[in-house]
Structure 1
Amino acid sequence: MSDPTTAALLDRDGVRLTVHPDGAVATVTLCNAGKRNAQSPALWRALAEAGRLLPGSVRVALLRAEGVSFSAGLDRQAFTPEGFAGEPSFVDMARGTEAELDAVIAGYQEAFTWWRRTDLITVAVVQGHAIGAGFQLALSCDLRVCADDVQFAMRETSLGLVPDLTGTRPLVALVGYARALEICATGRFVHADEAVRTGLANLAVPAAELDAAVQDLTAALLAPARDAVVELKGLLSGAADRDLDDQRAAERAAQGRRLRDLAGLGD
């Protein structure tokens, strides 16, 4: 639900960015409820632009969606021969060189990448269907708070494709390789109870309680010192890629920076 006291910094192509009056919280809203927030290259460019426009004061970025569904995935117009007006169709993309195809997909992925910045905590607020690109967008965020009617699904393989919008790494990290493989290969729905049980979602509540749950979580995330949370996110997000000695060294370095800052000796 948007706050009427906020002004939109961006409102185009199915994406709206607003910053709360205190400057610490931003909301990115998918606002094409009539098409169940189906995604397109134009929407991805708008999402990437939202990341670039985000003020430096923002500590928590919420990703929300209007209507009954978070996102039904890629707009089916993408699978028609003509595709989207002014955009390369799938057929055109396939006819390009490997470098050209790689560059197009890399551009699409930018919409899904900035949510992992260490200076932010990002929260996907998910209701109804989150399918394919919608599932991957929710996975782009640090945390997921869901309504109890949520249905996640990775349906790309049913179309002869694979998930390519940065969702595979967080999915494996959250639920493990075997379950991630099964979810993606079968394309089945993951409901709220399984999402919470497997770590895919942090919390699932009745839809009527979703706004209150998000408000409570946001307040809790804003309570600690910002610099401590930034250091913490860097430690945790990189832990899987470090061995024990490297992680120990990263902890020492992070704590050293915090101690010097608290003692007034920081840069």
Structure 2
Amino acid sequence: MATLVPLLDKDGVRLTVDDAIATVTLTNPDRRNAQSPALWRALTEAGRSLPGSVRVVVVRGEGKSFSAGLDRQAFTPEGFDGEPSFIDLARGDDDVLDSTIAEYQDAFTWLRRSDILSVAVVQGHAIGAGFQLALSCDLRVVADDVQFSMRETSLGLVPDLTGTHPLVSLVGYARALEICVTGRYVHADEAVAGGLANVAVPADALDAATSDLVGALLAAPRDAVIETKALLQGASGRTLDKQRIAEREAQGRRLRDLAGISD
């Protein structure tokens, strides 16, 4: 991937595409890939820049950490150059505050699109916004040194970058509450056992494990994968009878497609 010409390379985010596989890389290892509003805008731009050929998006961070979360500069009165500080936002109009947070969330939500599968490749620290970025992906491959932690509540805040819904879905309400309120680390063994990670491997095997998973994800026909992902994403919000209907409708579309019959 390193030899590919990036489609985007700015504000700590690089996007490269190799046919059906896109790789989004956080590129500030000296700061453990700390996040900022500029980085979030670049992530959103990466999502909008994906060619139609992309089926799998791999999200990873350079260096020893996936992402150590929000850059602490956000909490200073000065904030980031050219950006309103969080203090300024808090003192401002409610609608502006709400729309600004919604804009930040856009950086995370596109990874759940039904037409792609997203895989987070996580090593070292994945804290706060870093944890939520990993949770935004459909699947997670982790190194055995991974340390997930949701620190927002400990700082007097809440996790607001779309991480609470997948966290509860993966580990249940009680465990999610305990993880968020205590801010403790979740290590590799617990992450796999609790459903936060699909597989944990030694750090030097992370690339190989990711390649194997991506290859398996690409083996099935794209339209069948899209329909299956949509069925599973919506399952928790449907009754059994409604899920049965959704399955029938999806299977009908697949059978007609395979038979060459258009609607």
TM-score higher than 0.5: yes
Confirm whether residue 182 of structure 1 aligns to residue 155 of structure 2.
no
Aligned residue among 96, 99, 105 for 1:100: 96
Confirm whether residue 7 of structure 1 aligns to residue 14 of structure 2.
no
1:97, distance to aligned residue in structure 2 (A): 1.9
Confirm whether residue 69 of structure 1 aligns to residue 68 of structure 2.
no
Separation of aligned partners in 2, 1:168 and 1:67: 27
1:7, distance to aligned residue in structure 2 (A): 1.2
Deviations 1:98-155 (A, max 9, x none): 2111001000000000000000000000000000000000000000000000000000
Aligned residue among 145, 152, 156 for 1:149: 145
Match of 1:16 in 2: 14
Match of 1:167 in 2: 163
Match of 1:140 in 2: 136
Deviations 1:174-230 (A, max 9, x none): 000000000000000000000000000000000011000001001000000000000
Separation of aligned partners in 2, 1:117 and 1:48: 13
Indicate the SS of the match to 2:236.
helix
Confirm whether residue 204 of structure 1 aligns to residue 203 of structure 2.
no
Aligned residue among 224, 249, 254 for 1:253: 249
Indicate the SS of the match to 1:188.
coil
Separation of aligned partners in 1, 2:201 and 2:66: 15
After TM superposition, the score normalised by the length of structure 1 is 0.98
Match of 1:119 in 2: 115
Match of 1:40 in 2: 36
Aligned residue among 47, 54, 78 for 1:51: 47
For structure 2, list consecutive stretches of 5 or more residues without a partner in the other structure.
none
Confirm whether residue 84 of structure 1 aligns to residue 83 of structure 2.
no
Separation of aligned partners in 1, 2:83 and 2:155: 20
Number of residue pairs aligned between Structure 1 and Structure 2? 263
Identity %: 75
After TM superposition, the score normalised by the length of structure 2 is 0.99
Which AA in structure 2 matches 1:3? A
Separation of aligned partners in 2, 1:208 and 1:84: 35
